[in-house]
């Protein structure tokens, strides 16, 4: 019976980019590596570092090789540099250089634009791990603990992916940017993460699930548009990251779905039919549906802000340069250059929300946000199916895009969740019905007690319908280190 | 009436519509609308590329159907339909065949082979879902022989072969423990093609060579045996008609913590080799949790004797037992099991233990008696334990 190792690792850093033959980049990465491990070790509580976690590791980018499940201690996780297979004769898919061969090296004129995009993307990856660092202490099950850590190690790998691009293609600048990615820290006074949404601590598991559902989905859309890049190494990196990102969408969608399910089950068991009977529902040890709606409102709107200004010349420049495409660019039936076409964008004129046609080129952000809104609606519909099936008269609703915005045209006004413009007084009078209050937060926090027994779940979350890697219900997804 | 077929489906209750499968499918057999993601049965070629990339597990769903569900039907679903009753000319598994198994000779053969379990066998709960009956008599797949190696010493009294088949890029998704049907060329006395003979795969699911999806068989030459002589005489490059895969219960648990107690003789070692290699490829150098009792006449005639000796004990704890060693008393597997009573008893009491027995029918009785003695000594009833284990999918017998 032959020895069987699917992948040979020729360097300390698993990769499919020939690092073994690329001494300069290998040296830079190896120099960066201890800082990364240090960052990881200081971040995650020690007893989790020493625990055996049933994780998925990508050992190759072939569909059959990238989901190997096994127990591993997180600091020993094989973070690697993995790019999707190269597409022969790939062409730049959009913008003024459309149809020319994709760049294998950084085009000089776009160097700074590219670097900035990569740094911003890279900055979000460790940012989210930092935000979620303490969640393990209150995990509602070993299954969820494992899913949290899977998300964390993959965000870590995504940081690696961006650092590789910086060090390989951007010389000294790139190396400095790579170091800065470890220097900045979520919520830090002196060196915060670049995007606001990544500087708030994730306070509880419902927030984590909402974050992975709504905010990671923004990440997915950004990756989708970078996967269309004419700069081929960026495209290949992002294509592979998208496959991993799907797991984060999964954690979010099923996480919220299971919280909803636990509430429905408890209400039915107790014979409570009125979803607004908040006190009685909370007494059951589950989260009432109106609070879930408020959390949804908050995370959805914070995520919409991540798409930036509706009309943006930066986005137009990046598209025109062929550095960033649109969602599913290859499936869009147009000239891919947006010379004369127009796109509908919301705006505020005379205190009213109106739709205006603007040059499509300047509305690339808006289009991506519209794609996001459609994508995000799907899961909400599936949560509602469960509510309907349980016979409870309640519907989770995605709020209007004008509601609770800090960035873009709607930042100037106040609107209710239906999109009616309201006064500051009206806003103050109702905001507690729309967004989580301190009391809501304190209640959810009161439920956050760890449940580490295999196969058991905290009262406020239902068991998953299916185990990870087809494992049975009482599988010990994390073998906790007991110090 | 068209042949029933196995259709690949996606569970809409579990799918999160991330479309990773759709983007991964090399032949665009997966598509979606605003509601569901669906598989086009007329395109899907069972390459399985979409299975590991799915973050949810919703995509590993299969139904045997007379006519495939259309894309329109699948788009309407809120949940997957139950497996319906399919009247089969060729039953999809030994599970669904009738008692006599006369509708399907393959099912009848498997039902006979599994009789020793003392009741209806069940697959381990965590076993991967097997593909069954992908190829049948009227639709066999052609394999090319990649190699044919004699496993027993030249002078040994048996000629056992290790034969490697390559399916030339055609899908042949076989799990460890499943069987292949081999059709010997020519016709029988009635002028009809020969019926397939069943052989267990001795290679793991990802192939004799990992990722190559080639399949190895372990075949003993029987004097006068039509199919075994045909197989043992094959040369590299020769072509063979194959049906299957068959068998839906004699499968290994996916749970890496599950312990395997493997008891075999002769070519009954084939599925055990597949199990062992599959474990080796997943657990690597870690503890394997596998114990093997393997009987043969002499070391010379024990298939895979050399490679087996090299397997680390930590991965596979081995008892190789010989009944015709010169100057040694005859020893059969059941004798060694009794000698190792403590180990066997401890495993029997562990609800994480799975037992596999494979070899000649003649071994069954002796092994049963040994298991009976060992359970009695711990104050339990073997019959009751066996039935519990079988119901749990933890007791498997395949003898011939």
Mind listing the pLDDT tens digit for each residue in B33-58?
A: 989 999 999 888 888 889 888 988 89
Q: Which domains does chain A have, with CATH numbers?
A: 19-479 (1.10.620.20)
Contact, A301 vs A403, CB < 8 A?
yes
* d(C-alpha B242, C-alpha B164), whole Å: 13
Of all residues in chain A, the one with the smallest CA distance to B216 is A1
| Cβ contact B310–A1 (<8 Å) | yes
How many whole angstroms separate alpha carbon A88 and alpha carbon A83?
14
Kindly provide the ipTM of the predicted complex, given to two decimals. Answer: 0.84
| pLDDT score at B98 | 35
Instruction: For an interface test with B, give the residue of A143, A213, A246 to mutate (most B CBs within 10 A).
Output: A246
- Give Cβ neighbours of residue A23 (< 8 Å, ≥ 6 apart): none
Chain A nearest-CA distance from B175, in A, is: 15
Nearest-angstrom CA–CA distance, B373 and B364: 14
Q: What is the pLDDT of residue A124?
A: 94
Q: How many residues does chain B have?
A: 400
Please report how many Cα atoms fall inside a 13 Å half-sphere around the Cα of residue B250, on the Cβ side.
Answer: 32
DSSP A25-77: HHHHHHHHHHHHHHHHHHHS-HHHHTSEEEEEE---SSTTTS-EEEEEEGGG-
Give the pLDDT score at B292: 96
How far apart are the C-alpha atoms of A122 and A195, rounded to whole Å?
A: 11
- The answer to whether the peptide bond before residue B245 is cis (omega within 30 degrees of 0) is yes
Distance (Å, whole) CA B247 – CA B221? 23
Kindly give the pairing relationship between strand B290-296 and strand B259-265. parallel
CB contact under 8 A, A242 and B78: no
For B211-267, what is each residue's pLDDT tens digit? 788 999 999 998 888 899 999 999 999 999 999 999 999 999 988 889 999 999 999
Burial class (CB in 10 A: 0-12, 13-18, 19+), B162: buried
Nearest chain B alpha carbon to A213? B16
Helix axes A111-131, A23-43, angle to 10 degrees: 30
Across the interface, whether the CB atoms of B311 and A1 are under 8 A apart is answered yes
Q: What pLDDT, on the 0 to 100 scale, is given for residue A4?
A: 22
CA distance A333 to chain B (A): 18
Residue B200 bears catalytic tag: yes
Q: Which sign, positive or negative, has the C-alpha torsion A95, A100, A102, A107?
A: negative
Q: Output the pLDDT for position A194.
A: 93
Class of domain B5-87: alpha beta
pLDDT in tens, A23-63: 899 999 999 999 999 999 999 888 899 999 999 987 777 77
The answer to whether residues B87 and B38 touch, using CB atoms and an 8 Å cutoff, is: no
In this predicted structure, what is the pLDDT of residue A330?
Answer: 85
Q: Determine the average pLDDT of the residues in B316-337.
A: 92
Q: B400 an active-site residue?
A: yes
Query: Looking at beta carbons, which residues of chain B come within 8 Å of A255?
Result: none
Asked if residue B380 has pLDDT above 80, the reply is: yes
Nearest CB to A470; choose among B55, B126, B257: B126
Q: Of A6, A64, A70, which is closest to B52 when you measure between CB atoms?
A: A64
**In which residue ranges of chain B is CATH 3.40.50.80 found?**
259-399
| Local structure of residue B84 (DSSP, 8 states) | P
Select the more confidently predicted residue: A438 or B312: A438
Give the Cα separation of B50 and B28 in Å (integer): 11
Taking chain A (483 residues) in consecutive chunks of 10 residues, what is each chunk's mean pLDDT?
A: 36 80 90 93 91 87 78 90 88 96 95 95 95 95 97 95 96 95 93 90 96 94 95 94 91 97 97 96 98 97 94 93 93 90 94 94 95 94 95 97 96 96 97 97 97 96 90 90 72
A4–chain B nearest CA distance, Å: 6
Q: Are strands B290-296 and B316-322 parallel, antiparallel or unpaired?
A: parallel
The pTM score is 0.68
Q: Least CB-CB distance to A246: which of B20, B281, B283?
A: B20
Task: Round to whole Å and give the CA distance between A354 and B359.
Answer: 78
A370: tokens are 């519209």
Q: What stretch(es) of chain B map to CATH 2.40.30.10?
A: 141-246
Rounded CA separation B261/B291 (Å) = 5
CA dihedral A425, A427, A433, A434 (to 10 degrees): -170
**CA nearest neighbour of B310 among A127, A3, A292, A17:** A3
Domain B141-246 matching CATH 2.40.30.160: the answer reads no
Task: Work out the pLDDT band at B85, boundaries 50, 70, 90.
Answer: low
Q: How far apart are CA B88 and CA B322, in angstroms?
A: 44
Smallest Cβ–Cβ distance between B53 and the set A1, A63, A254 belongs to A63
B183 strand-pairing partners: B241
Rounded mean pLDDT of chain A? 92
B259-399 folds as Rossmann fold (3.40.50)
| Beta-carbon contacts below 8 Å between A and B | 91
Which entry of B58, B93, B179, B200 is annotated as an active-site residue?
B200
B202/B358 Cα distance (integer angstroms): 12
CA distance A467 to chain B (A): 8
Q: Which of B50, B54, B97, B199 is catalytic?
A: B199
Supply the pLDDT for residue A1. Answer: 31
Task: Assign 3-class secondary structure to B114-163.
Answer: CHHHCCCCCCCCCCCCCCCCCEECCECEEEEEEEEEECCCCCCCCCEEEE
Point out the residue among B125, B128, B307 whose CB comes nearest to the CB of A472.
B125
pLDDT in tens, B199-209: 999 999 988 88
Specify the pLDDT at position B280.
Answer: 86
Known active-site residue B398: yes
Q: Is B346 a catalytic residue?
A: no
Residues of chain A contacting residue B18, judged by C-beta atoms under 8 Å apart:
246, 249-250
């Amino acid at each position: 019976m032959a020895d069987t190792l699917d992948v040979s690792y020729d360097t300390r850093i698993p990769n499919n980019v020939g690092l073994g033959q690329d001494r300069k980049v290998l040296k830079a990465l190896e120099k960066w590596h201890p800082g990364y491990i240090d960052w990881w070790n200081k971040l995650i509580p020690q007893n989790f570092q020493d625990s055996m976690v049933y994780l998925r590791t990508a050992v190759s980018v072939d569909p059959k090789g990238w989901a190997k499940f096994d127990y591993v201690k997180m600091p020993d996780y094989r973070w690697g540099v993995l790019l999707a297979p190269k597409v022969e004769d790939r062409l730049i898919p959009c913008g003024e250089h459309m149809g020319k061969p994709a760049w294998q090296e950084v085009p000089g004129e776009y160097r700074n634009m590219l670097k900035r995009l990569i740094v911003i993307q890279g900055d979000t990856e460790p940012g989210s791990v930092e935000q979620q660092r303490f969640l393990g202490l209150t995990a509602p099950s070993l299954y969820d603990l494992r899913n949290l850590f899977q998300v964390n190690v993959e965000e870590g790998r995504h940081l690696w992916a961006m650092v590789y691009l910086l060090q390989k293609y951007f010389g000294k600048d790139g190396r400095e940017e790579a170091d800065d990615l470890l220097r900045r820290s979520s919520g830090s006074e002196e060196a915060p993460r670049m995007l606001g949404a990544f500087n708030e601590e994730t306070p509880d598991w419902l927030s984590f699930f909402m974050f992975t559902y709504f905010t990671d989905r923004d990440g997915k859309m950004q990756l989708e548009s970078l996967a269309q890049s004419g700069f081929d190494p960026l495209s290949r990196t992002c294509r592979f990251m998208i496959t991993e990102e799907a797991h984060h969408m999964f954690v979010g969608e099923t996480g919220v779905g299971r919280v909803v399910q636990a509430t429905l089950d408890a209400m039915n068991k107790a014979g409570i039919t009125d979803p607004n009977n908040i006190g009685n529902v909370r007494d059951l040890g589950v989260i009432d549906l109106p609070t879930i709606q408020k959390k949804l409102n908050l995370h959805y709107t914070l995520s919409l802000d991540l798409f930036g200004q509706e009309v943006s010349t930066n986005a137009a420049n990046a598209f025109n340069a062929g550095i960033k495409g649109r969602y599913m660019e290859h499936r869009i039936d147009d000239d891919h250059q947006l010379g004369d076409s127009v796109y509908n964008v919301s705006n505020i004129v005379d205190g009213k929300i109106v739709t205006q046609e603007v040059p499509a080129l300047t509305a690339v952000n808006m289009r991506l946000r519209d794609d996001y809104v459609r994508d995000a609606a799907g899961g909400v519909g599936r949560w509602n199916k469960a509510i309907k099936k349980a016979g409870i008269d309640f519907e989770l609703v995605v709020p209007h895009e004008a509601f609770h915005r800090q960035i873009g045209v709607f930042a100037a006004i106040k609107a209710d969740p239906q999109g009616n413009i309201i006064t500051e007084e009206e806003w103050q009078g109702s905001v507690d019905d729309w967004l989580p209050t301190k009391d809501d937060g304190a209640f959810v926090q009161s439920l956050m007690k760890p449940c580490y027994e295999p196969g058991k779940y905290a009262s406020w979350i239902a068991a998953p319908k299916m185990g990870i890697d087809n494992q049975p219900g009482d599988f010990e997804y994390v073998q906790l280190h007991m110090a | 009436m068209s042949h029933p077929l196995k259709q690949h489906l996606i569970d809409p209750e579990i799918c999160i519509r991330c479309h990773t499968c759709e983007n991964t499918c090399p032949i665009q057999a997966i598509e979606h609308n605003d509601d569901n993601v669906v598989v086009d049965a007329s395109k899907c070629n069972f390459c399985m590329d979409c299975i590991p990339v799915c973050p949810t597990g919703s995509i590993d769903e299969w139904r045997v159907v007379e006519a495939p569900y259309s894309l329109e039907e699948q788009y309407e679903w809120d949940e997957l339909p139950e497996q319906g009753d399919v009247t089969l000319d060729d039953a999809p598994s030994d599970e669904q065949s009738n008692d006599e198994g006369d509708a399907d000779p393959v099912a009848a053969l498997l039902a006979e082979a599994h009789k020793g379990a003392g009741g209806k066998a069940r697959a381990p709960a965590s076993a991967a879902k097997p593909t069954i009956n992908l190829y049948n008599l009227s639709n066999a797949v052609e394999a090319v022989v990649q190699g044919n190696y004699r496993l027993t010493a030249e002078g040994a009294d048996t000629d056992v072969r290790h034969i490697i088949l390559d399916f030339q890029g055609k899908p042949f998704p076989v799990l460890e423990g499943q069987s292949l049907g081999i059709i010997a060329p020519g016709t029988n006395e009635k002028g009809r093609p020969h019926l397939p003979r069943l052989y267990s795969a001795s290679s793991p699911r990802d192939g004799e060579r990992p990722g190559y999806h080639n399949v190895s068989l372990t075949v003993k030459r029987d004097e006068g045996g039509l199919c075994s002589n045909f197989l043992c005489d094959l040369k590299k490059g020769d072509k063979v008609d194959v049906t299957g895969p068959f068998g839906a219960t004699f499968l290994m648990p996916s749970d890496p913590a599950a312990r395997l107690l493997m008891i075999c003789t002769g070519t009954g070692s084939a599925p055990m080799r597949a199990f062992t290699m599959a474990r080796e490829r997943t657990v690597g150098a870690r503890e394997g949790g596998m114990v093997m009792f393997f009987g043969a006449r002499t070391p010379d005639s024990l298939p895979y004797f050399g490679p087996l000796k090299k397997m680390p004990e930590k991965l596979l704890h081995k008892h190789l037992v010989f009944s015709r060693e010169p100057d040694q008393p005859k020893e059969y597997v059941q004798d060694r099991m009794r000698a190792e009573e403590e180990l066997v008893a401890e495993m029997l009491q562990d609800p994480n233990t799975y037992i596999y027995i494979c070899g000649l029918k003649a071994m069954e009785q002796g092994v049963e008696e040994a298991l009976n003695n060992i359970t009695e000594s711990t104050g339990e009833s073997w019959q009751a334990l066996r039935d519990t284990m079988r119901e749990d999918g933890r007791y498997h017998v395949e003898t011939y």
